[in-house]
Structures are given as C-alpha cells and as structure tokens.
Amino acid sequence: MKRILAQCIKELVQFRRDRLTLALAFLLPFLTLLIFGFAIRLESKNIPLIVQDFDRTNLSSSYIERLYATNQFIPYKWSGTDPVRDAVDRGIAKAAVIIPPEFSRDVKASKNTELQVLIDATDVNNARVIKNSIQQVTNFFMRDQGLVPATSSITPKMRLWFNPGRLESLYIVPGVYGVVLWIFPSLLSAIAMVREKEKGTILQVYTSSISATELLLGKGIAYLLIAIAEALVLMVLGSLIFHVGLVAEPTALLIGTFLLLTDSVMFGLLLGVRSSNQNSAVQGVALIGFITALLLSGFIYPLNNIPFPLSLVPNVVPARYYIDITRDAFVRGTGWAGVWFDLVMLAILGLIFFNISRRVLSRMQLPN
C-alpha cells in the first residue's frame, strides 16, 4: 500500500506542475459542455420559409401568420418572381408555400383547395419536420376558422412525461456528462502512462520491486481523484448554466459516476500501456473513445437504429450505460429499479480494462 500511495502522490505532483494537463482536465471539458449544450439542437427551428400569396385576402394573410406563429419558420424575402429558382434551388430557403389566386373563395365554398408546398429534401429529417409542421398548421387553421366540422367523437388527449416543455437541454446535457467524463479522464491517464515511456522512467519501474498491479493502482487512484474533481466541477457548472437539476435520489448517480470514472481511467491506462508515444495514445482515445461515445452510446442517435452487427459494439461502451444513469437521475427519476443493470455493466467493464492492462504490463516488466 505504501508503494501504491507513493506512486499516486508522484502522479498528483506531476499533474499539478503541468499547466497543459490542468487545462486538459478542466478547461477543455467545460468548453465541450458549453459547445454541446448550446450548439447541438435536435429540434429544427428558424427554418427559412417563403410564402408566395396570389390570393392576397384576409384569409390567406391569416394562414400566413399562422405559419410563422409556430416559431419554427422564419420569413425570407427574396427578390424575383420565382421563389423556387431564387431561393429554394439556391439553398437559401428550405421550403416555399404557394397560395393560389382563388384560395379564399374556394375554402369558403367548401371546395377542394390545394396549396403548393415545395420542400428542400436535401436533409431528409428536416424535410420531414417541415412537412409535418405545415400539415399540422393547416389542420389547426381550418379548425380555428370553423371550416372543418367535427366528424369523430374520439379525441386523444396527449401528455408528455418527464419533459413536458420539450427542453433539449434536459436531453443533451446529461448525455454530455457521459461523453466528457468518458473521454477526458482516459486521455489524461493514457498520456501519463505514455509519458513514462517517452522519458525513460518506465525502466526504473520495470527494475524496481513494484508490481504491475501496484503501478496501475497508484496511477489509477491519482487520476481517479482528478476525474472526480472534474466531474464535480462539470456537473455544478452544468446545473447552473443549463438549469438541469436532480429529480431522483442521487446515490445511483454517485455510484455510477465513480464506476464510469474508474472505467475511463483504466481504459486510458490500457491505451497508454499499448501505445509507444503520446500521439498514438491521443489518437487511440479519439478513435476508440470519442467516436464510440459520441455515435454508439445513444447520446444523439437511438441505439435501436444501429444495424447488426454494429449494434453489438454499444454493449462494451461504458458511456452508453452512464448516459442511461444520468438521464434517469436528471430527467426520469426512476432510481435504482431503472439503472441497476447499467451499474453492474460499468463494474464489469472496469474489471476487464484493469485485468487486460495488468496482464500487458506484467509481460513488459523484467522477471525477478
């Protein structure tokens, strides 16, 4: 235990002296939180929309006002006579609504009235949002004007649970915690391990009486303490900036955070043991850690949409399980009943990373 604590203290002293590592531990995670928290928006807003009104009546004007009252579309003024050629084809506007000359008269006469809606489907998801929004606005406008009689006695009453205001920060920010706390602690521990090789001090370790387990535990405990401080700072700032607070009993979150940070540090040590220089270690964290955490953890894209056999990869991505824990703690509030399996998987993956690192490092050491 004395050798483990000595190794831990040495790592903390080296960490405190390195300003670049300090920035990597605290400044970059905070910037990542701000960028992801403010920049990533899954809900389409401020979509440029052109409306060409050939009817120019009070009814058509009311319909146009209703389109822009959704706060999803913004008007775009174009110069010319052809909105398709002048705006949609050039990618300036994402959709164009053309109201025919006899729109008001045909609607009041209960005739079949057609609007021409031209949508830029370059972005398929955005096109689907535009189509559904215009359809819903049209249906609401007809009911509001008393133009559609009630034809059914069945009226669904919908209620949104957990996030009734549909705040994207409640979805994005807890996910950012999982991505950031998976990437940066592993990056720090990987660089720390590789630094021993580059400076040649690893040879002293190989010839000393310290074992591979003691070396890994000493470095792991040091960077686990740093990661815990990083997690506290990140979550406090996230709560203050984005107003994301706990809705569940925090014990599961605390244990899950400890397990994820342990996994992250052990994963970084594993990459550091296998890498020969800092560039390869950083590339390993970026390629294996960042891409999987960003794309295969459920942070942005649903895991159900990932095809087989790629769908097997998220099963070994710790960030996937931690994101479930954070979203439960900050959004759903289920507690232990909903996240116990995630905690078990985090513990198992941490043991796997540690055992692989210990075996690799044991083979590198000189025999007694």
Longest Cα–Cα distance of the chain, Å, equals 97
Among candidate residues 312, 309, 306, 336, the one with its CA nearest the CA of residue 324: 336
Coil, strand, or helix at residue 51? Answer: strand
Q: Residue-wise pLDDT tens for the chain (368 aa)?
A: 777 787 788 778 777 777 777 777 778 788 888 877 776 666 667 788 888 888 888 888 888 888 888 778 888 776 666 766 667 777 778 888 888 888 888 877 777 777 888 887 766 667 778 888 888 888 888 877 776 654 444 445 556 667 766 677 888 899 999 999 999 999 988 888 888 777 766 666 666 667 778 888 888 899 999 999 999 999 999 999 988 889 888 999 999 999 999 999 999 988 888 887 888 888 888 888 888 888 888 888 778 778 888 889 899 999 999 999 999 999 888 889 889 999 999 999 999 999 988 888 776 655 55
In degrees rounded to 5, what are phi and psi of residue 164?
-65, -25
pTM higher than 0.75, yes or no? yes
DSSP assignment of 250-312: THHHHHHHHHHHHHHHHHHHHHHHH-SSHHHHHHHIIIIIIHHHHHSSSSSS-GGGSPTTGGG
Please calculate the CA angle 272-278-281 and round it to the nearest 5 degrees: 45
292: its two tokens: 């999987």
